[in-house]
């Protein structure tokens, strides 16, 4: 098994940087929550043997490995991230450090470009999307998936007691921290329009979000641990409040934790 070098407090300008110690737990939880939806969309697009694919901001390996199994030995899966600490895979997966918002595409004439929960966090997201589409061949597909917290901002949609109130207040604080780092928390809903404005055809979109699942609990715990010091430093919560929230999770007082809706939008380059 590959050893992962994690630097506690490493930042890279991103609130949930890959090098932070809880990143691996978050990647596993996100895969559990969203892979089924992502894979369903990719199957509908028609991915098959020999396809050339670019997986952007891969984080972990669940999507690149799934793609590799579909494209086979004659295909290509290029998995990129600004930090490749958690990426390792066999051929045909190729791993590359790459900043989609600042660098040219690492490949062109691609059959598929996919990014999940990435562009919301990229300050130059418009340039990134343009670059992604430019990498497609004529007839190639793009699938972009991003959260939209504004459509459902609560961690506990059933906000009925003190434990739920605290959870939702901390989630609001998390969004405040994200907004302070140039994240666009309403980006997901714009994706269908943006794909059409880039001239794509057969554009469609849907949204998916779990309302309660064990992986939601795992994700929340890892996220709060990852941003704990920043919540305190910003005056959003005290150490005691964060400890109380984590204890509420551990003792089952907030069993129904939700995610923000993940909007999936796809289109084909003419």
- Give the C-alpha separation, 18 to 12, whole Å: 9
- pTM for this predicted structure: 0.89
List Cβ neighbours of 64 (8 Å cut-off, separation of 6 or more): 55, 58, 77, 79, 87, 89, 93
**Predicted pLDDT of residue 203:** 98
pLDDT value at position 26? Answer: 86
Rounded to an integer, what distance in angstroms lies between the CA atom of residue 78 and that of residue 9?
Answer: 28
**7 pLDDT more than 60:** no
CB 205 within 8 A of CB 264: yes
pLDDT of 11 reads: 40
pLDDT higher than threshold 70 for residue 48: yes
| Strand partners for 224 | none
Structure tokens at 245: 């929230």
Listing DSSP states for 72-128 in one string gives: -TTSEEEEEES--TT----TTEEEEE--TTTS--S--SEEEEEEES-GGG-TTHHHH
Confidence of residue 4 (pLDDT cuts 50, 70, 90): very low
Domains belonging to the chain, first-starting first, are: 23-158+183-210+260-268 (3.40.50.150)
Region 250-263: mean pLDDT is 95
Q: What is the pLDDT of residue 21?
A: 55
> What is the rounded distance in angstroms from the CA atom of residue 193 to the CA atom of residue 176?
26
- Percent above pLDDT 90 for the chain: 79
CA dist., res. 128 & res. 107, Å (int): 14
Q: How high is the pLDDT of residue 87?
A: 79
Residue 6 reports pLDDT greater than 50: no
Distance between CA atoms of residues 205 and 266, nearest Å? 6
Which tens digit of pLDDT belongs to each residue from 21-37?
A: 566 788 899 999 999 99
Confidence of residue 2 (pLDDT cuts 50, 70, 90): very low
Strand order in the sheet with 201-208: 93-97, 76-81, 52-56, 110-116, 136-147, 262-268, 201-208
Lowest mean pLDDT, pick from 149-153, 178-182, 216-220, 235-239: 178-182
For 82-104, what is each residue's pLDDT tens digit? 888 877 766 679 999 999 999 99
**pLDDT tens digits, one per residue of 150-203:** 899 999 999 999 999 999 999 999 999 988 777 888 999 999 999 999 999 999
Q: Round the average pLDDT of the chain to a whole number and report it.
A: 89
């Amino acid at each position: 098994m590959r050893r992962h070098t994690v630097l506690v407090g490493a930042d890279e300008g991103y609130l949930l940087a890959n090098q932070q110690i809880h990143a691996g737990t978050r990647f596993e939880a996100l895969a559990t929550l969203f892979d089924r939806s992502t894979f369903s969309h990719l199957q509908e697009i028609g991915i098959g043997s020999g396809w050339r694919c670019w997986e952007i901001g891969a984080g972990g390996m669940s999507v690149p490995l799934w793609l590799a199994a579909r494209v086979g030995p004659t295909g290509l899966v290029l998995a990129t991230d600004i930090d490749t600490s958690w990426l390792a895979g066999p051929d045909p997966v190729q791993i590359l450090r790459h900043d989609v918002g600042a660098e040219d595409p690492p490949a062109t004439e691609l059959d598929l470009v996919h990014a999940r929960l990435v562009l919301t966090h990229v300050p130059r997201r418009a340039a990134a999307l343009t670059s992604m589409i430019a990498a497609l061949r004529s007839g190639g597909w793009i699938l972009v998936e991003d959260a939209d917290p504004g459509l459902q901002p609560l961690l506990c949609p059933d906000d009925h007691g003190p434990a739920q109130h605290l959870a939702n207040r901390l989630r609001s604080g998390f969004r405040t921290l994200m907004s302070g780092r140039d994240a666009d928390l309403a980006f997901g809903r714009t994706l269908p329009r943006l794909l059409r404005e880039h001239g794509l055809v057969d554009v469609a979109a849907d949204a998916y979000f779990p309302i309660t699942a064990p992986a939601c609990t795992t994700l929340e715990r890892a996220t709060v641990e990852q941003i704990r010091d920043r919540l305190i430093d910003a005056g959003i919560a005290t150490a005691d409040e964060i400890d109380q929230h984590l204890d509420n999770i551990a003792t089952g007082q907030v069993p129904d934790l939700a995610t923000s809706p993940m909007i999936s939008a796809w289109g084909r380059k003419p």
